[in-house]
Amino acid sequence: MSTELPVLTDKDFASDQEVRWCPRCGDYSILKQMQKVLPGLGIPKENFVFVSGIGCSSRFPYYMNTYGFHSIHGRAPAIATGVKLANPDLQVWVITGDGDSLSIGGNHLMHAIRRNVDLKIILFNNQIYGLTKGQYSPTSPTGSRTKSTPYGSLDTPLNPLCVAIGSEASFVARSVDVDIKHLQATLKRAAEHKGTAFVEVYQDCNVFNSGAFKYAQSKAEKADNVVVLEQGRPLIFGKNRDKGIRVTGLLTPEVVTLGDNIREDDLLFHDEKAEEPSLAFMLARMRRPEFPEPIGVFRCIDRPTYNEAVEDQVTMAVEKEGEGDIEALFRKGDTWEVQ
């Protein structure tokens, strides 16, 4: 029997179910890029599991010809943790949205990340509740006028990457739904990371929040609005690649123009491996219109995974106590005989 894996294509990962997102929804592209990335990972198809919560994005597993679990609102990280602990050989993906993961499921997201369970969490951020037809979400900008906030929303939005970094994430990245090559590369990096990989994808809800990320999607605008993070490279952006990010004082970023006084060497050089999360945090907080918004891998460090630690503890217990002996367990403590 050959031990070589059969050659898979994106079609192998498409299920027979009709995809039912609104036409031109950003989810289509994310689904397609996922189906393109998975065949190249060298993982048997039966070892992929997709777990989702509730929301438009959470229909994702139904369209993947893998093991899938469309669960309940907000709980996908906890369910996925159970799957991973049950069988650490599986590659477990969590598909979630901004409401699902940051509102009702905020607690589970935070704890999965801080434990560093080996999960790939993809957050489709469209800054709106789409499935319930247009209420503001925890990532909607303050003042958003939606069905539930006709006078404008009052809450300060959460920044998903800051939540992840604050939860001690070992891998944090951001991409954009229609930036096909970048999204594929980012998903691949997430898949290859050992530990929780957290990826925010800017995703357009063209029905309830159309154009929220146009600045990062349209060819005409994105060059000035987005800076692509590359390991060891300076942060340069702009149509003419003449603008950069420089850091002054205590990690205070500023936009500078490359020219006579400012050379590339003066700019911030990206380091996703930095032990301290401060740089990643600073980058995550860079927001339009003051700054271009970074996409790419913000942080990628090695940290022990929870699921490996669980297995190691079991191995250690067996080494220390020997393979569990039920009859000895029955007789634990004081026993006595009745004739």
Distance CA 102, CA 123 (A): 9
CB of 21 to other proteins, least distance (A): 14
Closer Cβ to other proteins, 61 or 244, answer by number: 61
Contacts of 53 (CB under 8 A, 6+ apart): 71, 72, 73, 74, 75, 76, 96, 97, 100, 101, 104, 105
CB of 37 to other proteins, least distance (A): 17
Closer Cβ to other proteins, 210 or 315, answer by number: 315
Closer Cβ to other proteins, 162 or 310, answer by number: 310
Closer Cβ to other proteins, 77 or 296, answer by number: 77
The site for other proteins (CB under 8 A) is made up of 15-17, 44-47, 49, 51, 54, 61-62, 64-72, 75, 78-87, 89-90, 107-108, 110-111, 310, 313-314, 316-318, 320-324, 326-327, 329-339
CB of 48 to other proteins, least distance (A): 8
CB of 335 to other proteins, least distance (A): 5
- Burial classification of residue 333, based on how many CB atoms lie within 10 Å of its CB (0-12 exposed, 13-18 middle, 19 or more buried): exposed
CB 165 within 8 A of CB 277: yes
Distance CA 282, CA 229 (A): 13
CB of 77 to other proteins, least distance (A): 8
Distance CA 85, CA 102 (A): 23
CB of 80 to other proteins, least distance (A): 6
Distance CA 108, CA 113 (A): 8
Closer Cβ to other proteins, 133 or 331, answer by number: 331
Per DSSP, 56 falls in state S
Closer Cβ to other proteins, 21 or 291, answer by number: 21
- Burial classification of residue 2, based on how many CB atoms lie within 10 Å of its CB (0-12 exposed, 13-18 middle, 19 or more buried): exposed
